[in-house]
């Protein structure tokens, strides 16, 4: 009906689990959507229960996706020859799941199911949060040969 009144209208729909499928009627809240995406399952220590993030991760990420979708739809409408608007549909859980797309490829190519691990386990080495000699905390990630070599050089210079 709104589209009939204004064919250039851009509409963004956000739901917890999409407009179709077995969960489309369920209420959409960030924390359950985070768990449904698989993110919660991966967080925490292997010998303990999964841990949800202590803030509204999915709500924030979804907001970014909504803003990007709106701007993209506006751009498309403004450059297209027919000037028509769009309906954009975003499910909360999809925004976090999209950030973990490497797990889909890892499963597809290696048949590996990633399990819960603290920090950045399995991606880079060394990586994580480390306490310094003077009691402070630093976050360290050596995800490339260059960063590892720089760390090794700094360590060697320190001890020599």
| Residue 12 three-state SS | strand
Record the tokens describing residue 2, joined without a space. Answer: 């709104």
Nearest one of 86, 74, 51, 65 to 15, comparing CA atoms: 65
Torsion (CA) 101, 22, 59, 66 in degrees, nearest 10: 80
**Integer Cα distance of 69 and 71 in angstroms:** 6
Spatial contact of 90 and 12, defined as CB atoms under 8 Å apart = yes
Q: Among residues 59, 78, 108, 134, which one is catalytic?
A: 59
Known catalytic residue at 59: yes
Q: Which residues have a catalytic role annotated?
A: 59
């Amino acid at each position: 009906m709104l589209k009939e009144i204004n064919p250039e209208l851009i509409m963004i729909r956000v739901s917890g689990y999409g407009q179709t499928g077995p969960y489309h009627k369920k209420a959409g809240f960030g924390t359950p959507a985070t768990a449904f995406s698989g993110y919660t399952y991966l967080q925490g220590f292997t010998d303990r229960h999964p841990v949800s993030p202590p803030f509204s991760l999915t709500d924030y990420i979804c907001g970014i996706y909504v803003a990007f979708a709106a701007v993209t739809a506006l751009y498309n409408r403004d450059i297209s020859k027919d000037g028509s608007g769009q309906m954009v549909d975003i499910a909360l859980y999809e925004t976090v799941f999209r950030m973990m797309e490497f797990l889909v490829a890892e499963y597809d190519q290696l048949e590996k199911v990633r399990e819960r691990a603290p920090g950045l386990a399995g991606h880079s080495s060394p990586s994580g949060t480390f306490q310094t000699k003077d009691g402070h905390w630093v976050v360290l990630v050596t995800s490339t040969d260059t960063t590892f070599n720089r760390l090794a050089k700094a360590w060697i210079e320190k001890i020599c």
